[in-house]
Chain A
Amino acid sequence: MPKLCVLCSTERAVLKRPKTAQQICRTCFYQVFETEIHNTILDAKLFARGDRVAIAASGGKDSTVLAHVMTTLNERYDYGLDLCLLSVDEGITGYRDDSLETVKRNETQYRIPLKIVSYEELYGWSMDAIVKEIGMKNNCTFCGVFRRQALDRGAALLKVDHIVTGHNADDIAETVLMNIFRGDISRLQRCTAIRTATDETIPRSKPFKYTYEKEIVMYAYFKKLDYFSTECIYSPNAYRGYARAFLKDLEAIRPSAIMDIIHSGEAWQSKTEVKINAVGKDGKVTVGTCERCGYMSSQKMCKACVLLEGLNSGLPKVAIGNSSKYRQSGQSGGRPSKRDKNMAKADLQDAPPATLSPDPDASNAVPTPADDCPVQATNAVELSPSSPSPRSKAAAAPPLAKHLRCRKCRTILVPASSLTSHEQGSGQQAFGYRKRDPALEIATTCSAFHVSEADVDWIDGVADGSKNEDKISCPNAKCGTKLGAWSWAGRSFWKIVTCAAPAGTDH
């Protein structure tokens, strides 16, 4: 016996709404689906009459339905919006080129103009080329960061007032989960906002914030909308995939889980300030502009430029793993030596600075020779100004003729005589095949300075042996800049292997 729609009680129900568990017919489904989005738009006051709005279109289900619904609502409720489609071509052969065809068909179906911007023209790197360079791990970071900017740049070209994206409730719930898993409080607070805008940028909003993915797919299916679906060929390793599978499992048990998670994300409040250098006096995140490209950025260099820097210098993983260090060292290239700034910039084009340590995990993973007792003073410590090109030396043994100084106040930290050369460990090769982490292979160059214990007894915990590793701050009380980290890496097996050597002598 066919079940009847609970709303109109005349037609046969074809769908159970995940949000309300109502069983409704096709006509009523269209009605509630569209009306809910209309209400979301009105409640959040997303648009003003006469706005020029770009629909971020990928050719997938969400953006196709978004384009359809936006054109429908614009006509039905007379929003008075001037709509257009905006697509980004990441340069992924076999994925994007096909879905762009779908967007081109949408252009004619909905009679709204389309603009395509490509990574290749914006950044000089297509995703295919990036993956060739960095492999399958972390490539989604590049893609996501680049796409965010690409949309803004495309929107600027189109001179729009607003961008709408097809992010749905499931997407937002996933993002909330991921930000919790990563402890990213700052993003956690921002990710549930239906509209993101600062003075600098074109506002973006998500009219599907409260729309379930299931309903979007059903809508597309019943309306026979033309959309393209394939998994991005580079995404199987993406972290989001796991969050998504987890969320779908939860949804299967309790469909309201998605709304609950969004609600949790909205209710989250952090009592501590998010990030001191990014927060202004009024408590808002202050947005500056990138030194390189002028795009908005809370740091000196925007994330895309940091990533590009890594790509162009052949060390892309560093840029992902520790971008704040990279930013700092990147922008301060001329600082310690007070060299001509232009020169410092030119240097950056060639190679990353020595102060840049590889991923901290990576440097710990590099096995040090057993007879060595190194203090790792990595990353923020710099060699003396006279050193012409510290980075090239760091690749080999640290040079012996220079003092280590604080990069800020130039206080001598360790005399040159204290620096010992050490044999480069074999990196990941030192581990059994199964225990190797291919992501760290690139960082096998040890950039730690190995110094004798007696010369670094000013570091808290070294002299009394109370610590095995810690951060290093500049000993100059007026300065106190964070310099890096130290560790007795290898000491534990040094004790076992070469216990003949007395502790505290020059290693």
Chain B
Amino acid sequence: MPLSITLEFSGGMELLFNNEKRKQVTLPDSFAPGTATLKDLLPWVRDNLLTERAELFMQDDTVRPGILVLINETDWELEGELEYKIQDGDVIVFISTLHGG
């Protein structure tokens, strides 16, 4: 069964994603439940959903410093960051702090 997750972009991140703040996606079969991690998800998001300026989203194999990631309303630093195993129905939020305040 393919994983279905919700992605949210805010704090200016949405500008890189066609101005969509919230997006429901079904991941391809290569994302196996129980093994697929955020490390796999990030490049997929970049290649499939990002519409402009990839360098503002990722740096090396993680998100650019200054972008906060929340998994189900929890700071991803508590969830193992890139090693977090994606589960069906997860809500993953990307918030940029790099934009002016």
Contacts and interface: CB of A to CB of B under 8 A. Distances in A.
Contact of B99 (A12, A60, A248): A60
B75 A14 contact: yes
A15 B78 contact: yes
A229 B78 contact: no
Interface string B65-101: 1101010011101100000000000000101111111
Nearest to A231: B99
A16 B97 CA distance: 16
B10 interface: yes
Contacts of B66: 244-245, 248, 251
Contacts of A171: 101
B9 to A, nearest CB: 11
Contacts of A244: 66, 98
B38 to A, nearest CB: 16
Contacts of B36: none
B43 interface: no
Contact of B95 (A14, A170, A221): A221
B99 A214 contact: no
B68 A214 contact: yes
Nearest to A64: B101
A16 B64 CA distance: 18
Nearest to A235: B100
Contact of B11 (A61, A63, A166, A168): A61
B65 A60 contact: no
Contacts, number: 79
Contacts of A62: 101
Given A61-B11, A231-B12, A213 B97 contact: yes
A58 B101 CA distance: 7
B10 A230 contact: no
B59 to A, nearest CB: 8
A114 interface: no
Given A3-B78, A14-B78, A249-B65, A230 B99 contact: yes
Interface string A230-242: 1110010000000
B13 to A, nearest CB: 9
A324 interface: no
Given A58-B100, A58-B101, A16 B75 contact: yes
Interface string A54-89: 000010111100000000000000000000000000
Contacts of B96: 229
B5 interface: no
A131 interface: no
B78 A60 contact: no
Contacts of B12: 229-231
Interface string A81-115: 00000000000000000000000000000000000
A100 B28 CA distance: 42
A168 B12 CA distance: 18
A217 interface: yes
A43 B14 CA distance: 39
Nearest to A13: B78
Contacts of B97: 61, 170, 213-214, 216-217
Contacts of B78: 3, 13-16, 23
B42 interface: no
Interface string B1-43: 0000000001110010000000000000000000000000000
**A-B pairs with the 3 shortest C-beta distances?**
A62-B101, A60-B101, A248-B65
24 contacts: A15-B75, A16-B75, A16-B78, A23-B78, A60-B99, A168-B101, A213-B101, A217-B11, A217-B68, A217-B97, A218-B75, A221-B10, A221-B93, A229-B11, A229-B96, A229-B101, A230-B99, A231-B15, A231-B98, A232-B100, A235-B100, A248-B64, A248-B65, A248-B98
Given A3-B78, A217-B95, 7 more contacts: A170-B97, A216-B97, A216-B101, A229-B12, A231-B98, A244-B66, A252-B65
